[in-house]
Structure 1
Amino acid sequence: MLGRARASIAEHNFFGLRWIIEKFNDMDVERIRDIGADRACAEWILRCGGTVKFDDGKPEIADYNTLVQQTAQRSGTFNEKKIFLNEVHAVKACVTARGCRHFEGVTRLHDVVFAGCKNLEDDGINVLVQNVGSTLRTVELADCRYLTNEGLRLLGNCTSLSSVILTDLPRVKDWEKLIDELKSNLPKDCQVVGYPKKK
C-alpha cells in the first residue's frame, strides 16, 4: 500500500506533494556515519520504492522494514558497514537528484536501473557519475521524463561500463548523435543502445 502511495505521489508535481517526495530523499549524515554509506544508500532506495542487492549473491531486498535484519544476517554481524551495495533497481520510485547524494561513499555499485522515475533530473545523473562512475558496469534509464541529452552525456565519464540502455526518454533530442557520443567516450566494448519515446 505504501509503495502504491509513493508511486502515486511521484506521478504528480504539485508543490505540497513535491515536499513529501523530497523528504523521502533527505540525506541524514549522522545515519550514514552510524551504518555506513552502502546501508544508508540501500535505505534511501527502499524508502523511495526501489529494490537493492548486496555483494553476497543473495536475492534482492525490497522490504525497508526488514533491511536491518537481513543485512545483519548476511554480514554475520550487526556492523552493517561490512556489506557492499552492488545493484540498485529504482522502478517507479520517487528518487530525485537530491536523493542521489546517497551514492557518496558507495564503492562497489555495479548495476543501476532508473525506470519510471518521474522526478529524476540531470543533476541526479551528474551526482551518480561523480560518485560511482568508476565502478558502474550497467546503467538502464527508461521513462524518466526530465532526463535530457545534457545529463545523459555525463555517462560518457564512466570508466567501467559494459552496457547502457536508454529507453522512452521524451526530452532526448537527436538519439543517433547521443548514442554516437556515448560510444566514442565509453570503453570500446561497451554496448550502448537507445530507443526513443514511443508515440
Structure 2
Amino acid sequence: CFRMLSRVRTSITEHNFFGLRWIIDKFNDLDVERIREIGADRACAEWILRCGGTVKFDDGKPEISDYNQLAQQTAQKSGTLNEKKIFLNQVHAVKACVTARGCRHFEGLSRLNDVVFIGCKNLEDDGINVMVQNVGSSLRTVEVANCRLLTQDGLRHLGKCGSLSSVILYDLPRVKNWDKLLEDLKSNLPMDCHIAGFPVKK
C-alpha cells in the first residue's frame, strides 16, 4: 500500500496532473482524531512521509523515510505510561506534495528545529505563515528552494522566527525583489543568523 501511494505521489509531484489535485488534498488532510490518538509529533511525521519527505526525531536515531521505519522507531515511545516521549526534530520535504493546508500539522510541535522545503511545487505562501505561527519559536534552520508558488510575501514571515541561526533561500522564481526580502529578514532576525538568498543556487 505504501509503495502504491509512493508511485502515485511521485507522479503527481513530477507531472502535476490537474485532475489528481484531490489526491494531493487528501495527503494533506488534517485528521484531528489521529492526532488525539498518536500525538502531534507522530501525526506530523506521518503527513510528511505520506507526501514524500523524510523526518527525524530527537532520539538520536537515523532519518526516517517510510512508515515501517516510523512504526519501529516510535514503538513504545508515544508518551504514554512510563515511556519517554520523543519529539519531532527535523522535517525535510524534498519534491514532496505538501501544501499550505497540510502545514496545519505543525500545530502542537514544540521541538522542531530544522525544516527544508525543496521542489515542493504545491506549497503556497500561507503554508510558510502557518508553519511560523506554530513552530517559529523553536526553528533553528530553514532552507527553501525551487518552490514555484512561494513569493516574498510568504517568505518574509520567516522574520518572525526569533531563534533562527540559518536561513537559505534560492531558486524561487516568484521572488521578484531579493534585496528587499533579504533586507526584511536581516532587520528582523537575530544578528548572528546566517541569511543567504539568491535567484539560482551557487
TM-score where L is the length of structure 1: 0.92
Q: Is the 8 A contact 1:36 1:81 kept in 2?
A: no
1:128 shift after superposition = 0.2
Query: Match of 1:114?
Result: 117
> Would you say 1:137 and 2:140 are equivalent positions?
yes
Query: Match of 1:10?
Result: 13
Equivalent residues, number: 197
Residues in 1 aligned to 2:103 and 2:78: alpha-carbon distance in whole angstroms: 28
Q: Among all aligned residue pairs of Structure 1 and Structure 2, give the percentage whose two residues are the same amino acid.
A: 78
Alignment root-mean-square deviation, CA = 1.9
Query: Match of 1:155?
Result: 158
> Would you say 1:87 and 2:73 are equivalent positions?
no
Q: Is the 8 A contact 1:72 1:78 kept in 2?
A: no
Query: Match of 1:31?
Result: 34
Offset from partner CA, 1:26-61 (integer Å, 9 cap, x none): 110000001000000000000001000001111001
Residues in 1 aligned to 2:84 and 2:107: alpha-carbon distance in whole angstroms: 14
Cα distance change of structure 1 residues 59 and 120 upon mapping to structure 2, 3 Å threshold: same
**1:87-106 maps to which residues of 2 (within 5 A)?**
87-106=90-109
Q: Is the 8 A contact 1:35 1:81 kept in 2?
A: no
Offset from partner CA, 1:143-174 (integer Å, 9 cap, x none): 00000010010000001000000010000011
What amino acid is the match of 1:88? V
SS in 1 for 2:191: coil
Cα distance change of structure 1 residues 5 and 197 upon mapping to structure 2, 3 Å threshold: farther
Residues in 2 aligned to 1:143 and 1:154: alpha-carbon distance in whole angstroms: 18
Query: Match of 1:52?
Result: 55
Query: Match of 2:177?
Result: 174
Residues in 2 aligned to 1:183 and 1:54: alpha-carbon distance in whole angstroms: 30
Q: Which contiguous aligned blocks of 4+ residues in structure 1 show a shift greater than 4 angstroms?
A: 76-81
Q: Is the 8 A contact 2:78 2:86 kept in 1?
A: no
Q: Structure 1: give runs of 5+ residues left out of the alignment.
A: none
Offset from partner CA, 1:110-140 (integer Å, 9 cap, x none): 0000000000000100100000000000000
Cα distance change of structure 1 residues 13 and 81 upon mapping to structure 2, 3 Å threshold: farther
Cα distance change of structure 1 residues 130 and 36 upon mapping to structure 2, 3 Å threshold: same
SS in 2 for 1:82: coil
Cα distance change of structure 1 residues 69 and 190 upon mapping to structure 2, 3 Å threshold: same
